[in-house]
Amino acid sequence: MSKLALGAALVAVLAINTAGAQIKSATVTGGQVEGVSADGVAAYKGIPFAAAPIGDLRWKGPQPVVAWEGTRKADTYGPSCMQDPNFAKIFAAPPAISEDCLYLNVWTPARSATERLPVMVWIYGGGFVGGMTSVPAYDGTHLAQKGVILVSVAYRLGVFGFLAHPGLSHETGKASGNYGLLDQIASLKWVKANIAAFGGDPSRVTIFGESAGGLSVSMLAASPRARGLFHGVISESGGSFGPPRYGNEGGETVPPLKVAETSGKAFLDKLGAHDIKAARALPAEVIQKALGPGLQGGFWPVFDGEVLPDDQYKLYSAGRFNDTNVLIGTNSDEGSLFVTQTVSPAAFEQQVREGYGARAEVILAASPHATAAEATRAAANLARDSTFAWHTWAWALLQSEKGKGKAYLYYFDHRTARTPNGSGHGSEIGYVFRNLGGPGSGPAGIQGPPTAEDEAISALLSGYWVNFAKTGNPNGAGLPQWPAFSASDQQVLFADRHPGARAVPNMTQLKALDEYYAWRRAQH
């Protein structure tokens, strides 16, 4: 046998031995599951973590999983939660959509249940109206190969996940509206109870998500219902530190319960469902159609006094939050996703004055907008900062001042010939998961073969993320030093062609927004 043939045979034998060493089956809440091993990782897809929220369980908190007989093949993703079917097309995900959607997936490199590897739990984004675990960019194989267990979890969306209504609040005797967040909490309870069977350490769980997933992570970090369920937080373009939204206030998204109940009642009345029993009898497709396409619908998490007790800025200021190390940040050009047409100076001024009230002039002074080009850029930057950047900056300040856990702040600014203005919304995901160049990375993701620079950025981000999951600190061998953030030393890690720690970018705009949010908060 030639040396080449002998080498190939040895590689084949090693591959077989590695695959054979993975955890092929596990006993979890509900029964036995069997996964599929490849490339040194065992993947388990479509494990139920709660009962199907259908029929009388629609708009109720997640209920205990229904047990099954025998061994359940965990080789196929569960259907996506109810949403516009176009989201699956955008993200190259399977088309199956159903109310029966509370499933999770596990990728584990462990060879035995005794390894106690750190765990990373991924929460997808999509504006709380779209998203699914089956997006190819979220495949956990490559992260798991770096020595962590990756879990991705589903949660209810849109009106199914976030309908507040007086009738629903009456049912509980307390509140309604945060079913999607309760799903996330139920999945974390499942992880705590079951991840050891896959070689995971339930005392080393890091939650991470992007956009609405990052917002979810932020909310879980402030929710008493999630206390003790995770030990580290990573939020990509997410954070929810604004005051309650009563109307069209700029940069605010979370309504108080009474406002959300009024909106929810109006929605069901429009469908002719004047009580909850009638609403639960409606086909899911009829309700979904009434929401409209894309990001429409207006359903969002709620300050319900239970899952989300209050404005997170106030909670953190009072020391009422789940104190862990946090790794959080934003992308340099993610506001451009929300500003797709040219904006005139007059239109920009009108937008700011309508949304920012008595502090509009402060915002305008911090946003050069004399020409259409400047106004368009200012509108995109304001979308970036009011939706993402101010919230993560405020979060880092509050965590570093009020908590024992450290805060690590980043700024993703990977520029290419296709993205000369910076990194778009969601464009970091493929780099973090090390899934480059494939389908499903979203409209801002890589298209075509990754370059050497792409690979280097991916090694950088995934290295930091995994180190953080393992130790609570992103730093490690071969990576530029990333200092912890503090009010007196506001350093941010720039992830770009020359990565390293620098001053927080766009500080003039962040301080203008800080003044605005302080004013809004004083009104309530």
Token pair for residue 431?
């780099």
- Cβ(54)–Cβ(99) below 8 Å: yes
Q: Beta partners for 121? A: 151, 207
Q: ∠ at Cα 396 (210, 335), nearest 5°?
A: 45
Distances in whole angstroms, Cα of residue 76 to Cα of each of 36, 197, 245, 403: 10, 20, 39, 41
Sequence-ordered list of residues with C-beta below 8 angstroms from that of 510, at least 6 positions apart, any chain: 385, 389, 390, 393, 504
The label of the residue with tokens 């219902």 reads 225
Ordered strands of the 71-73 beta sheet: 25-28, 31-34, 71-73
Active site residues: 211, 334, 425
Which of 81, 24, 72 is closest to 54 using CA atoms? 81
Token pair for residue 201?
């350490």
Token pair for residue 295?
């990001």
- Cβ(237)–Cβ(228) below 8 Å: no
Distance CA 213, CA 128 (A): 8
Which of 155, 208, 271 is closest to 468 using CA atoms? 208
The label of the residue with tokens 């304001």 reads 382
Contacts from 273-279 at CB under 8 Å and sequence distance 24+? 275/167, 276/59, 276/165, 276/167, 276/168, 276/171, 279/58, 279/59, 279/165
3-state secondary structure 285-337: HHHHHHHCCCCCCCCCCCECCCCCCCCHHHHHHCCCCCCCEEEEEEECCHHHH
Sequence-ordered list of residues with C-beta below 8 angstroms from that of 40, at least 6 positions apart, any chain: 18, 19, 22, 109, 145
Segment (H or E) for 215: helix 212-222
Total count of residues recorded for the chain = 524
